[in-house]
Amino acid sequence: MGKSSKNLIVADIKQKLPGVLRTGCHVSLPLVKEQVIPSHLMEDVLQLGSQEKLVITFQQMCEVNPTYKIKWEALNDFIPLDDIKDEDLDVEFDVTSLSDKKLDLVQKTIGDLFQFFLDLIGKTYGQSRLTTKDQSDFDTFTAFVLRRRKMKVSRWLQDALGDQLTEERAQLEQRYIEPLIIYLSRCQQRCSKCQLGCMLSMTHSSDIEHSCCTDHQCRGKCEYGECQENLELTPPCSRSAGHEEKCECDKGDHTCGQPCALARASNCDKTCVKRPEHDGEHCCSVQVG
């Protein structure tokens, strides 16, 4: 294959890559910059030499990513991951031009992905109690859907470029596909104001405080028996978001309630969760060490 032919093929691929990366479908380049792309303007990515849609299955994902297999299988028992079609997930912006200047768009996409995930597990952002397990399961979910998109785009590139343009394919993958996972994965540090994990992109500046992107207040309801006699009147939890153990209101004497001995620590839950009249130091729910 001559150099000019190679250049033409690569140029054509670069025109199509933004749409496939963003939506998992073929989309005309001008549409990639739009906030919303109508579904009727998306075309399926097909297998080489076939009219069959290119689909990456759960089984294929586990075979290619064995380190995630156990976590994905556990999540798949609860949420059938093959039922969530790759083309149903729109990244919402042109990911081929990712940069720190677009972190607001990145953050919106992470938030939308989190809400999508919460819907799958029957929770509502801003209304349901969120736990660190919810966030951990979300990490497992995003690891799957982002790597599935990566695998789909890689398979499409392999079909489109063939064996003669392996170097060009590797360059395109490194420059455009790898950053997708890095930018859209959340930071693994703890929120600076509560016990939930940080929900900002893992690429966020160290100058920005780690944040769970909530108001840091638990949205659960008191779980102590004397407060659950009338479920409609069960008082809300008074503790910070992401706390361990039971939700507790501020109206009863369910726990000690005195200031924790480590109340000055940034992630302390502030109040002692031991039973009233306990022995020893006051301790909140945050595990130390």
Residue at which a domain ends, from 183, 208, 242? 183
Inter-CA distances, 157 with 22, 47, 95, Å: 15, 11, 16
Q: 160 and 25 in one domain?
A: yes
- Residue 233 has a pLDDT of 80
Q: Both 81 and 136 in a single domain?
A: yes
Is residue 207 a part of any domain in this protein? no
Judgement on whether residues 26 and 167 belong to the same structural domain of the protein: yes
44 is a domain residue: yes
Residue 247: inside a domain: yes
pLDDT band at 1 (very low <50, low <70, confident <90, very high): low
Query: What contacts 24+ positions apart, CB below 8 Å, involve 113-116?
Result: 113/89, 113/138, 113/142, 113/145, 113/184, 114/138, 114/199, 116/89
Give domain status of residue 199, yes or no. Answer: no
Angle at 122 between CA 224 and CA 92, to 5 degrees: 135
Q: Is residue 200 part of a domain?
A: no
142 and 239, same domain (yes or no): no
Domain containing 11 equals 3-183
Tally the domains of the chain: 2
Q: Is the domain of 49 the same as that of 92? A: yes
Distance (Å, rounded) from C-alpha 218 to C-alpha 46? Answer: 46
Band (pLDDT 50/70/90 cuts) for residue 234 is confident
Burial 15-28 (b: 16+ CB within 10 A, else e): ebbbbbbbbbbebe
Each residue's pLDDT tens digit, 12-41: 999 999 999 999 999 999 999 998 999 999
| 285 or 189, greater pLDDT | 189
267 inside domain: yes
Q: Are 31 and 148 found together in one domain? A: yes
Residues 141 and 232 in one domain: no
The pLDDT, as a whole number, for residue 158 is: 92
Query: 187: pLDDT confidence band, cut at 50, 70 and 90?
Result: very high
**Pair (14, 146) in one structural domain:** yes
Query: Each residue of 260-285: pLDDT tens digit?
Result: 888 888 788 888 888 766 888 898 88
The rounded percent of the chain whose pLDDT value lies above 70 is: 94
Give percent of the chain with pLDDT exceeding 90. 61
Answer yes or no: do 244 and 123 share one domain: no
Residues 14 and 123 in one domain: yes
Sign of the alpha-carbon dihedral angle for 27, 30, 34, 40: negative
Same domain, 39 and 176: yes
Domain membership flag for residue 222: yes
Residue 189 lies in a domain: no
Q: Do 33 and 159 share a structural domain?
A: yes
